[in-house]
Structure 1
Amino acid sequence: MIGRPRGEVVTTVSGDLLVVRPRRLRLPWWAVLLGLLARWTGRGLWWCLKHPRILTVSVITVAVYLDYGIAGLVTPVVLAGLGSAVWRWRHETSWWAWCAGPVLGRWRHTVVYRRVWREAMTMCDLSRVYQHQTVLPQLLAVHCDQTLDVLSVRMLRGQTPADFQHATEQLAYAFGRRHARVYTERPDELPVRGGGWVGWLLRQVDAYRFRDRPDVVYIVLVRTDALRRTVPPFPVPTVPDFTALPLAVREDLRTWHLHLLATHVLIGGATRRGKGSVLWSLVRSLAGGVASGLVRLWVIDPKGGMEFAFGRPMFARFASTSFDAMADLLDEAVQVLRERQARLAGTVRVHTPTTDDPLVVVVIDEMAALTAYLQDVDLRKRIAASLGLLLSQGAGVGVLVVAALQDPRKEVLPFRDLFPTRIALGLTEASQVDMVLGDGARNRGALADQMPSWAKGVGYVLLDGTPDPVRVRFSYLTDTDIKTMAAEYAAPVAAADILAQVGRETAPEPEQTAASTRRIPLPRKPSGPLLPDSLLNILRHDQCDTDTPNNGGGSR
């Protein structure tokens, strides 16, 4: 084939293979050089259009160097460093939002994530093949704060957020992190702007930034775990805000607030995982209202008072040793519910707490002891009936239930779905995460079954209005903190008289004596051989004939 004219079609038979030599177009060297120069120039212009800030800084740097030399470059850098240090010292939040966050985000976008993006998307099975080419989700931007990296990613056509949620754990380890979550909306909150034309302009910018983008998902990676440190108790508000009670610290170092008004709260967590931290943090946030009479705490501690006995002065009602007293407490809460329903019907739809009509919060620790493990069947049914009424009808009239348990299965807690607000601490099984937080919560990043041993009081909660979980750590109160709080914020003397409005005064829990603690044997059915009913009827008939005297005459 060597020496044949260029453009001739040559066929060689090797099985069924045909080899065709295409025609080649020969260009002079100067035309090739001009083409390459035009190509490189076009790419350079396009890069400048895509990176105007880098271009502007580069032009200014060169101009300053040409006019003032090295001193002209060093002086602005030193002044900018000093200004940044003062800014961070005076207001670190705005410094991260407007200075350090954007700079660090741009750096990590280029150096960390873009460098391994193709490999990570391919290995996590998020790439697709279209027309014999591999297409990847597009990394739009990276936003950073003190602890988190938020990746804005445009999905491919045909992808859904569920595809990324199923790969949450793989994405975390693909980028060298332990925790990651996928959000369908921006995870940060919409800022509150002031009035005037500046506030109006900022609101327009926020409306554009927080616009609905169905084709974009947000991957949150924990760069620095801020929840390793123990959270100290929060200050006690004089008048508690029932729509925003401070209980925990989020991963982004912001405070997580519980919306308690008109809701019930379920806390699920294995033993020694910090359920007490959640309950005592809630009690502390309500302490100001307890002392003023705005809140009544009715506490049930089936563990004999081992958890809540320290705070007894704060509780209007307290039952810890007698299950009959616990059932009476729940029955009386139902009576308060009925009285308020009759009084508020046609007036309001949601109860507003006042000192004359306070908020009643029924706190139950180890709820499974009342709903599953109680041996007295009649008493267990009575407790279940009262809890069902409180959970289904009590939120609107200001009779709320806050319950903690270890096993969230329906066999243990049949009315689990009646708790609108749920908190998942460390759990023992992956399936329990969805039982507490709802279906799909674990796929969205709530890995409550993988909590390390140090993570006591660390759990996952749901943000208001979104199904996306957030990882938080609740404050820790020592025994000394609890005793001091109970002495300072004791409930009023007449706190237990709330039942007077329904015509019944409360009774104290009966004291345990030796006679009352003696175990009473349960009645047993007579035991005997297992016989069919037909044979038992015959035997009973013969027994009756034998016992009946013969009236027809004596023996002959």
Structure 2
Amino acid sequence: MTTAGDLMVIRPRRLELPVWLIAIGLVLRWLWRGLWWCLRHPVAVVLVVVGVSLYREFGRAGVIVPVVLAAALSALWRWRHESSWWTWWAGPILGRFRQLFVYRRAWREAMTLCDLAKVYDHRTVLPELLRVRSDQALDVLTIRMVRGQTPEEFQKATANLAYAFGRRHARVYSERPDDPPIRSGYWALVLGAVDRLRFRDRPSVVYLVVVRTDALRTLVDPFDVPSVPDFTALPLARREDLRHWCLHLLATHVLIGGATRSGKGSVLWSLVRVLAGGISSGLVRLWVIDPKGGMEFAMGRPLFARFACKSFEAMADLLDEAVTVMRERQTRLAGAVRVHTPTLADPLVVVVIDEMAALTAYLQDVDLRKRIAGSLGLLLSQGAGVGVLVVAALQDPRKEVLPFRDLFPTRIALGLTEAAQVDLVLGDGARNRGALADQMPRWAKGVGYVILDGTPEPARVRFSYISDDHIRELAAEYSAPADAADILAQVGRETATEPARPPLPRQRRGPLLPDSLLNILDRDTDGGEPR
């Protein structure tokens, strides 16, 4: 009997399974896990099976001899072709070792303390570490995010993740950071299909690149001077993964931002060096403006078709002539091509400006400053397509100093003094994505952040160091042609006139004014009676 107010406890009926059925279920579960592990790690399974078979057949010698032979072949492989040795042999082995004994040991603690773990249904859900791939300098961690996470959350925690795993630098990429290889030969179709699977779009995965060995601490030697520069891939710097970073110069403008003594000269002279072959052949014309009185560029004067370093009037004239070249090419190439292709008859004009703020903000002559700003605005907005490019360097990237900062498609950030300047140079959110240009150490001259093609995440690079002796050698060996100063005379063409066009017939439209007012206007015009 129950009455109102009594507490009733209702328990569901318990289903009791026999012990033998529970044991069978556990065995099947363990067997399935073991089979799944074997399917995911076929190489390890094959090695274990072969090792056991050799040991049963030949004893200890059956295991020691293959290991010694494999070590000898590995050493020979590394000596002959180290890059493929890292890609196919040492990299996977080292990555697997570090995945098991470095990252998995600290994974739960690192994800929790870096605020990347989530709580769902009263239990903690962690991002999953899928794979670790290593090379000479980097560890690339493939991470499956928790449902509802975005790559921005990992990018904000980049510095925390680097120090959590005992390193100083790390990057987070929303897409695979390396490019798919170019396949050729008989197996190109098969390998291409494998690459399409490996490099497929995976929105639920991010890639954490941990810098194990900082390859940017040592100076970068100057790159070789190509006889014909490739304007779509000019090697200027070394990346953290020991590959070259190449600048796509064709049809773009370049802005270099960096504090004093941060290495802007390394960027500019690295660009001049890789263009030197085109300068001597006449394929490239360098017009250089050095407001510091020639302290930076006077040593390489023979390389330049035009050079202005003392008179601001001469600098304004140089920019006006660049606009004239741009107008001439626009008139001549309109309707024929959309992007200019450099030739010996129609070379690429690169206007290099050091300390651009001296022309746009600090110049006291207001009229001259407005004239320079007008020419720069026209060049930056219209010159890229016709082969009149601007490469500018400055210390202060604020809008008051450089009002047309957004007209530079390609930007490079060296060491900066304030965190807000990073976003001013590279774009909004660049610092949150890992571009810590305001935290550069004192040794990092010529180290900066760039945006890789096809990815929004910045990459850290170091530009080659060009000494005074290298500049003198370039000036002596790759001087510009004698007729390079006047490019309009060198081109040898006059500006094309606008073709004559027949007038279009106009349709008679009704008057927009009242008839009375229209009659008065007609009387005044004809000087007589209205029509």
Same fold by TM-score, threshold 0.5 exceeded? yes
SS at match of 1:435: helix
One-letter amino acid of the structure 2 residue matched with residue 164 of structure 1: F
Match of 2:444 among 455, 468, 478: 455
**Match in the other structure for 2:528:** none
> CA, structure 1 residues 502+34, in 2 after alignment: closer, same or farther (shift >3 Å)?
closer
CA–CA distance in 1 between the matches of 2:125 and 2:174? 21
In 2, are the aligned partners of 1:268 and 1:407 still within 8 Å (CA)? yes
Question: Does 1:257 find its partner at 2:232?
Answer: no
**Match in the other structure for 1:290:** 279
Question: Does 1:59 find its partner at 2:37?
Answer: no
**Match in the other structure for 1:86:** 76
**Match in the other structure for 1:201:** 190
CA–CA distance in 2 between the matches of 1:132 and 1:154? 21
CA–CA distance in 2 between the matches of 1:160 and 1:139? 16
One-letter amino acid of the structure 1 residue matched with residue 346 of structure 2: D
What are the residue-to-residue correspondences of 1:173-192 with 2, within 5 Å?
173-192=163-182
**Match in the other structure for 1:480:** 469
**Match in the other structure for 1:304:** 293
SS at match of 1:289: helix
Give the drift of 1:54: 2.3
In 1, are the aligned partners of 2:132 and 2:141 still within 8 Å (CA)? yes
CA–CA distance in 2 between the matches of 1:464 and 1:41? 47
In 1, are the aligned partners of 2:346 and 2:491 still within 8 Å (CA)? no
CA–CA distance in 2 between the matches of 1:160 and 1:247? 33
Match of 1:244 among 233, 237, 246: 233
For these two proteins, the number of residue pairs brought into alignment is 488
CA–CA distance in 2 between the matches of 1:17 and 1:425? 73
CA–CA distance in 2 between the matches of 1:272 and 1:256? 22
One-letter amino acid of the structure 1 residue matched with residue 81 of structure 2: H
SS at match of 1:422: strand
- Superposed CA deviations along residues 23-76 of structure 1, whole A, max 9, x for unmatched, are 897977x88877766665555445444433322222221111111011111110
SS at match of 2:105: helix
SS at match of 2:363: coil
CA–CA distance in 1 between the matches of 2:491 and 2:327? 9
> CA, structure 1 residues 290+34, in 2 after alignment: closer, same or farther (shift >3 Å)?
closer
In 2, are the aligned partners of 1:127 and 1:134 still within 8 Å (CA)? yes
Question: Does 1:410 find its partner at 2:399?
Answer: yes
**Match in the other structure for 2:422:** 433
Question: Does 1:277 find its partner at 2:278?
Answer: no
CA–CA distance in 2 between the matches of 1:140 and 1:56? 21
In 1, are the aligned partners of 2:130 and 2:144 still within 8 Å (CA)? yes
CA–CA distance in 1 between the matches of 2:29 and 2:327? 81
One-letter amino acid of the structure 1 residue matched with residue 260 of structure 2: T
**Match in the other structure for 1:392:** 381
TM-score by length of 2: 0.88
Give the drift of 1:19: 13
One-letter amino acid of the structure 1 residue matched with residue 156 of structure 2: H
In 2, are the aligned partners of 1:463 and 1:469 still within 8 Å (CA)? yes
Question: Does 1:74 find its partner at 2:64?
Answer: yes
**Match in the other structure for 1:495:** 484
In 2, are the aligned partners of 1:267 and 1:423 still within 8 Å (CA)? yes
**Match in the other structure for 2:431:** 442
One-letter amino acid of the structure 2 residue matched with residue 374 of structure 1: L
CA–CA distance in 1 between the matches of 2:60 and 2:142? 39
SS at match of 2:235: strand
Q: Which moved more, 1:55-64 or 1:449-458?
A: 55-64
Give the drift of 1:127: 1.1
In 2, are the aligned partners of 1:247 and 1:255 still within 8 Å (CA)? yes
One-letter amino acid of the structure 2 residue matched with residue 132 of structure 1: H
**Matched-pair identity in %:** 74
CA–CA distance in 1 between the matches of 2:203 and 2:467? 46
CA–CA distance in 2 between the matches of 1:369 and 1:482? 24
CA–CA distance in 2 between the matches of 1:410 and 1:241? 33
Give the drift of 1:173: 1.1
In 2, are the aligned partners of 1:336 and 1:502 still within 8 Å (CA)? no
One-letter amino acid of the structure 2 residue matched with residue 56 of structure 1: V
**Match in the other structure for 1:538:** none
**Match in the other structure for 2:409:** 420
Give the drift of 1:343: 0.9
SS at match of 2:59: helix
SS at match of 2:216: helix
- Superposed CA deviations along residues 422-479 of structure 1, whole A, max 9, x for unmatched, are 0011111111111111111111111111111111001111111221111111111110
In 1, are the aligned partners of 2:345 and 2:490 still within 8 Å (CA)? no
One-letter amino acid of the structure 1 residue matched with residue 181 of structure 2: P
One-letter amino acid of the structure 1 residue matched with residue 109 of structure 2: E
**Match in the other structure for 1:117:** 107
SS at match of 1:310: helix
CA–CA distance in 1 between the matches of 2:34 and 2:265? 61
**Match in the other structure for 1:155:** 145
CA–CA distance in 2 between the matches of 1:302 and 1:104? 52
CA–CA distance in 2 between the matches of 1:92 and 1:21? 66
SS at match of 1:98: helix
One-letter amino acid of the structure 2 residue matched with residue 94 of structure 1: S
What are the residue-to-residue correspondences of 1:537-552 with 2, within 5 Å?
none
In 1, are the aligned partners of 2:262 and 2:415 still within 8 Å (CA)? yes
CA–CA distance in 2 between the matches of 1:238 and 1:33? 75
CA–CA distance in 2 between the matches of 1:176 and 1:38? 41
SS at match of 1:296: strand
- Superposed CA deviations along residues 487-526 of structure 1, whole A, max 9, x for unmatched, are 100011111021337999xxxxxxxxxxxxxxxxxxxxxx
> CA, structure 1 residues 26+459, in 2 after alignment: closer, same or farther (shift >3 Å)?
closer
TM-score by length of 1: 0.84
Q: Which runs of 5+ in 2 are unaligned?
A: 1-5, 494-531
CA–CA distance in 1 between the matches of 2:75 and 2:135? 16
CA–CA distance in 1 between the matches of 2:382 and 2:262? 31
Q: Which runs of 5+ in 1 are unaligned?
A: 1-12, 505-556
One-letter amino acid of the structure 2 residue matched with residue 130 of structure 1: Y
In 1, are the aligned partners of 2:484 and 2:490 still within 8 Å (CA)? no
SS at match of 1:493: coil
SS at match of 1:470: strand
In 2, are the aligned partners of 1:335 and 1:502 still within 8 Å (CA)? no
- Superposed CA deviations along residues 90-122 of structure 1, whole A, max 9, x for unmatched, are 111111111111111111111111111111111
- Superposed CA deviations along residues 182-229 of structure 1, whole A, max 9, x for unmatched, are 111110011001143x11110000011111111111111111101111
Rg comparison, structure with higher value: 1
Give the drift of 1:291: 0.4
- Superposed CA deviations along residues 281-323 of structure 1, whole A, max 9, x for unmatched, are 0000100011011111100000010000110011111111111
CA–CA distance in 2 between the matches of 1:201 and 1:502? 50
Match of 2:360 among 371, 379, 382: 371
One-letter amino acid of the structure 2 residue matched with residue 208 of structure 1: L
CA–CA distance in 2 between the matches of 1:417 and 1:209? 36
